[in-house]
């Protein structure tokens, strides 16, 4: 073996010694570490909650123990009461979110494609969007009463804003070079929209749907807290009126779990829908 080969091998030995360590930190290991890290704060908060309950730092009537809340949650689920309220709430969200989709997607597309339409409509839309959901409650009560129509409209308003804004920004954010290449190939306007503009804006539009569904779920809980006789928000109010804080916290846990599950489902759908982008546009 020549002196040059020995020299090259000696320089390569430190890198070879570090190679198993690099191989051990693969995607699965990184995913496992990220998953464990995500659980650190919730588990610490749960431990603090248990400690505060055990030491009676907070009265039990105000902050029940985690085991008591879990027992209340299990009882509500076993009796079917929780499932019944959740089903009603999900139906309201589906109706309001569907209305927001039917109105928001065409409006966002129109704002993104037409500068003239955007100049006329977007300032008014932006001004109305600044009014929170609760701000519309008195007016809509006078117009439609406190029945289901009120809940549908308030949920739709909450979901409409992110759908319209993200759709508009996604279409406006399509790189101009994509449009220029399509024109070089002689694309018609329909081909330009169907093969270039909408595929390039899909990620932004889908983000608007995710945020819209999140806002719809949050608005539902607020509306049911104020004007409802059934639903998961009403269950929270009912538990508070009876001073059953374990029922209140159990319903809050259910709200958080369902909201998180809805967001994860849309995230998985987004990953499947946009997997073609991994190979390049």
Q: Domain limits of the chain?
A: 3-54, 66-279
CATH H-level superfamily of 66-279: MetI-like (1.10.3720.10)
* pTM for the model: 0.77
Tell me what pLDDT residue 10 has: 46
Tell me what pLDDT residue 231 has: 87
Tell me what pLDDT residue 193 has: 86
| Spacing of C-alpha 135 from chain mean position | 23
The stretches in the chain having pLDDT less than 70 are: 1-36, 276-281
């Amino acid at each position: 073996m020549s002196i040059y080969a020995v020299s090259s091998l000696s320089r390569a030995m430190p890198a070879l010694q570090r190679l198993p360590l690099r191989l051990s930190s693969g995607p699965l290991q990184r995913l496992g570490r990220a998953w464990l890290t995500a659980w650190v704060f919730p588990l610490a908060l749960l431990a603090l909650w248990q400690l505060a309950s055990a030491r009676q730092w907070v009265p039990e009537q105000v902050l029940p123990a985690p085991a008591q809340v879990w027992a209340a949650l299990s009882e509500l689920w076993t009796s079917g009461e929780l499932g019944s309220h959740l089903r009603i709430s999900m139906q309201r969200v589906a109706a309001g979110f569907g209305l927001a989709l039917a109105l928001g997607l065409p409006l966002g597309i129109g704002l993104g494609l037409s500068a003239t339409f955007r100049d006329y409509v977007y300032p008014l839309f932006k001004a109305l969007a600044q009014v929170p959901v609760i701000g519309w409650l008195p007016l809509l009560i006078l117009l439609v009463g406190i029945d289901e129509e009120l809940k549908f409209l308030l949920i739709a308003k909450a979901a409409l804003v992110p759908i319209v804004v993200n759709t508009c920004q996604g279409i406006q954010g399509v790189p101009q070079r994509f449009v220029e290449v399509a024109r070089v190939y002689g694309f018609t306007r329909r081909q330009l929209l169907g093969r270039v503009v909408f595929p390039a804006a899909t990620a932004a539009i889908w983000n608007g749907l995710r945020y819209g569904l999140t806002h719809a779920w949050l608005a539902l809980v607020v509306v049911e807290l104020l004007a409802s006789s059934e639903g998961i928000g009403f269950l929270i109010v009912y538990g508070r009126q009876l001073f059953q804080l374990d029922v209140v916290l159990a319903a809050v846990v259910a709200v958080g779990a369902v909201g998180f599950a809805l967001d994860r489902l849309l995230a998985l759908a987004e990953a499947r829908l946009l997997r073609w982008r991994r190979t390049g546009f």
